[in-house]
């Protein structure tokens, strides 16, 4: 039986949101037991069941109103629970929230998604483009925790899934952290504390402690204010009327309650509460981290599974493909040049009217660039625009011997490279050209690789290093196939570093 106290109720979910994504997001807040997903015609919501009760209010504080696919999530404790009560009390003490930032518009040349296939998908990149600078702050938040008392994290128990994904660098100690709501408990009626200031005989001032009194803030200017208030009080101390001089509430708490937390932890809490206005940005930075982790995970998957498995993966979850491609686009921005440019130049120099196959085309940029001059057919696992035909390039919807040129530009992913090249050969005319551009570091031995391609029925006509990073190979189709599965047709995966 699940403990309702450990449940979070999440609503206002975008159509694009999945239970997996919610789990990935909430697992950042604390160990998740399960996610119950309801997609009813009138109502779409998720129930996240945490393993511990403390995670609930923490998740509410961190994730309520966070934008997921442009839609602010509503994250609340389950109705009718003690957590909900606490939340309600806390909410009453809160100033109005800062509106979450409106996501910037999609990038120029961004996704164009055909209504018929992917009318649900909007670019997700828009989240974070403007908020990357706040990673530092998230870093601070990540370190909340009591290492000594942390329960074993499920990853330590053998589940490596999330770590592999690299969704975020999780610190296993994070699950036990000071509940941010506790810092406000002074405001609950039962815990309302008063600070009594005695001013000679009958002078009594009762001051409720302010919402953030639990945290001692560094406010050097307060000393001056205090001295002046003291002087003022001395002057008026002979008056019979009570004088309401509110001493800093922070002092009151510091004196009455000595924190048992270490100086480092106090410092972190101080920072956290001193900058509440950064919360939304921190959330954005956290999401950005999640996405880049997901990209790296998907990228690794593509290099370690067959094309047909990758096709199945993305057919079931096209959303993942968008995550992959926005991550890929982010990476390519950092490259000084792209081999695609070379392919475009080369094709532009050819006599018009050639039938070109762009295999693993991504956004079909090649087709956009030279489509007016040549007949370009663009294939990829998911059609992100109407130029692309979705398929596994090991099974192309193209007749035998009809293409002049087949191009693999950074697309020889997967474990079945021989199948891709055999399929390209099937579609090529006699003397048709096969072009391969790849990251140089993927090759252990280029000679062996080229020899293996040749055994599939090609002659090597050109081999060159395009830049420090990329190599390019050109082959011509011949009539003779020496081997269907030649030795040496393997490339190392191209993995991206965690930033």
Q: Which listed range, 9-17, 136-144, 218-226, 374-382, lies at the site for ligand SAH (CB under 6 A)?
A: 374-382
Among 7, 32, 57, 381, binds ligand SAH (CB under 6 A): 381
- Compute the least distance from the CB of residue 290 to ligand SAH, in Å: 21
**Cβ proximity to ligand SAH, 52 vs 312, nearer residue:** 312
Q: Reduced to 3 states, what is the DSSP secondary structure of residue 48?
A: strand
- Compute the least distance from the CB of residue 397 to ligand SAH, in Å: 12
- Compute the least distance from the CB of residue 378 to ligand SAH, in Å: 9
- Compute the least distance from the CB of residue 29 to ligand SAH, in Å: 32
- Compute the least distance from the CB of residue 485 to ligand SAH, in Å: 17
**Cβ proximity to ligand SAH, 175 vs 420, nearer residue:** 420
- Compute the least distance from the CB of residue 491 to ligand SAH, in Å: 12
**Cβ proximity to ligand SAH, 332 vs 461, nearer residue:** 332
- Compute the least distance from the CB of residue 292 to ligand SAH, in Å: 16
Among 393, 428, 434, 489, binds ligand SAH (CB under 6 A): 393
Binding mask 240-269 for ligand SAH (x = CB under 6 A): ------------------------------
- Over its C-alpha atoms, the chain yields an Rg (Å, rounded) of 30
Spatial CA neighbour of 54 closest among 213, 180, 185, 215: 180
360 contacts ligand SAH (rule: CB under 6 A): yes
Residues 316-345 that bind ligand SAH (CB under 6 A): 328, 340
Residues 273-312 that bind ligand SAH (CB under 6 A): 302, 307, 310
- Compute the least distance from the CB of residue 324 to ligand SAH, in Å: 7
How many whole angstroms separate alpha carbon 494 and alpha carbon 335?
A: 14
Binding mask 397-436 for ligand SAH (x = CB under 6 A): ------------xxx-xx----------------------
**Cβ proximity to ligand SAH, 12 vs 389, nearer residue:** 389
Among 17, 361, 403, 406, binds ligand SAH (CB under 6 A): 361
- Compute the least distance from the CB of residue 396 to ligand SAH, in Å: 9
Number of residues engaging ligand SAH in binding (CB under 6 A)? 20
- Compute the least distance from the CB of residue 317 to ligand SAH, in Å: 13
**Cβ proximity to ligand SAH, 250 vs 411, nearer residue:** 411
Q: Which listed range, 13-21, 176-184, 192-200, 391-399, lies at the site for ligand SAH (CB under 6 A)?
A: 391-399
Q: Which listed range, 58-66, 71-79, 115-123, 358-366, lies at the site for ligand SAH (CB under 6 A)?
A: 358-366
CB of 31 within 8 A of CB of 153? yes
3-state SS string for the chain: CCCHHHEEEEECCCCCCCHHHHHHHHCCCCCEEEEEEEECCCCEEEEEEECCCHHHHHHHHHHCCCEECCEECEEEECCCCHHHHHHHHHHHHCCCCCCCCCCCCCCCCCCCCCHHHHCCCCCCHHHCCCCHHHHHHHHHHHCCCCHHHCCCCCCCCCCCHHHHHCCCCCCHHHHCCCCHHHHHHHHCHHHCCEEEEEECCCEEEEEECCCCCCCCCCCCHHHHHHHHHHHHHHHHCCCCCCCCCCCCHHHHHHHHCCCCCCHHHHHHHHHHHHCHHHHHHHHHHHHHHHHHHHHHHHHHHHHHCCHHHHHHHHHHCHHHHHHHHHHHHHHHHCCCCCHHHHHHHHHHCCCCCCEEEEECCCCCHHHHHHCCCCEEEEEECCCCCCCEEECCCCCCCCCCCCEEEEEEECCCCCCCHHHHHHHHHHHEEEEEEEEEEEEHHHCCCHHHHHHHHHHCCEEEEEEEECCCCEEEEEEEECCCCCCCCCCCCCCCCCCCCCC
Among 24, 392, 423, 474, binds ligand SAH (CB under 6 A): 392
Instruction: Give the interface with ligand SAH as residue ranges (CB under 6 A).
Output: 302, 307, 310, 328, 340, 360-362, 365, 379-381, 392-394, 409-411, 413-414
């Amino acid at each position: 039986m699940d403990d309702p106290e450990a449940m979070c109720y999440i609503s206002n979910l975008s159509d694009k949101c999945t239970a997996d994504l919610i789990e990935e997001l909430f697992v950042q807040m604390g160990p998740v037991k399960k996610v119950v997903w309801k997609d009813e015609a009138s109502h779409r919501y998720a129930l996240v069941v945490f393993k511990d009760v403390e995670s609930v209010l923490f998740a509410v504080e961190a994730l309520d109103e966070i934008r997921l696919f442009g839609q602010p999530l509503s994250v609340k404790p389950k109705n009718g629970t003690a957590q909900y009560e606490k939340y309600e009390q806390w909410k009453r003490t809160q100033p109005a929230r800062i509106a979450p930032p409106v996501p910037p518009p999609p990038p120029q040349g961004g996704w164009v998604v055909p209504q018929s296939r992917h009318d649900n998908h909007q670019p997700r990149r828009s989240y974070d483009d403007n908020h990357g600078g706040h990673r530092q702050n998230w870093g601070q938040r990540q370190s909340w925790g009591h290492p000594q008392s942390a329960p074993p994290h499920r990853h330590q128990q053998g589940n490596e899934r999330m770590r592999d994904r690299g969704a975020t660098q999780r610190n296993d100690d994070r699950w036990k952290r000071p509940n941010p709501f506790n810092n406000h408990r002074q405001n609950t009626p039962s815990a309302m504390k008063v600070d009594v200031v005695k001013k000679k005989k009958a002078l009594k001032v009762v001051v409720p402690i302010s919402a953030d009194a639990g945290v001692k803030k560094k406010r050097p200017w307060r000393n001056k204010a205090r001295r002046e208030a003291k002087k003022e009080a001395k002057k008026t101390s002979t008056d019979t009327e009570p004088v309401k001089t509110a001493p800093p509430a922070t002092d009151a708490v510091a004196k009455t309650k000595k924190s048992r937390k270490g100086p480092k932890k106090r410092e972190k809490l101080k920072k956290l509460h001193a900058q509440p206005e950064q919360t939304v940005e921190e959330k954005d930075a956290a999401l950005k981290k999640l996405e880049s982790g997901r990209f790296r995970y998907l990228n690794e998957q593509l290099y370690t599974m067959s094309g047909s498995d990758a096709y199945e993966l993305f057919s079931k979850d096209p959303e993942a493909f968008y995550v992959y491609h926005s991550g890929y686009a982010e990476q390519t921005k950092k490259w000084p040049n792209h081999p695609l440019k070379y392919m475009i130049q080369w094709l532009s120099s050819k006599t018009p009217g050639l039938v070109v196959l762009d295999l693993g085309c991504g956004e079909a940029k090649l087709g956009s660039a030279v489509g007016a001059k040549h007949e370009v057919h663009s294939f990829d696992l998911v059609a992100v625009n109407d130029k692309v035909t979705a398929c596994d390039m090991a099974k192309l919807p193209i007749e035998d011997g009809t293409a002049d040129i087949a191009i693999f530009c950074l697309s020889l992913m997967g474990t079945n490279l021989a199948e891709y090249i055999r399929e390209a050969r099937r579609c090529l005319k006699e003397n048709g050209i096969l072009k391969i551009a790849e990251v140089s570091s993927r090759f252990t031995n280029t000679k062996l690789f080229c020899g293996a391609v040749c055994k599939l029925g090609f002659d090597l006509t050109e081999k060159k290093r395009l830049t420090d990073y990329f190599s390019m190979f050109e082959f011509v189709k011949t009539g003779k196939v020496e081997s269907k599965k030649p030795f040496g047709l393997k490339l190392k995966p191209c993995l991206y570093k965690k930033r």
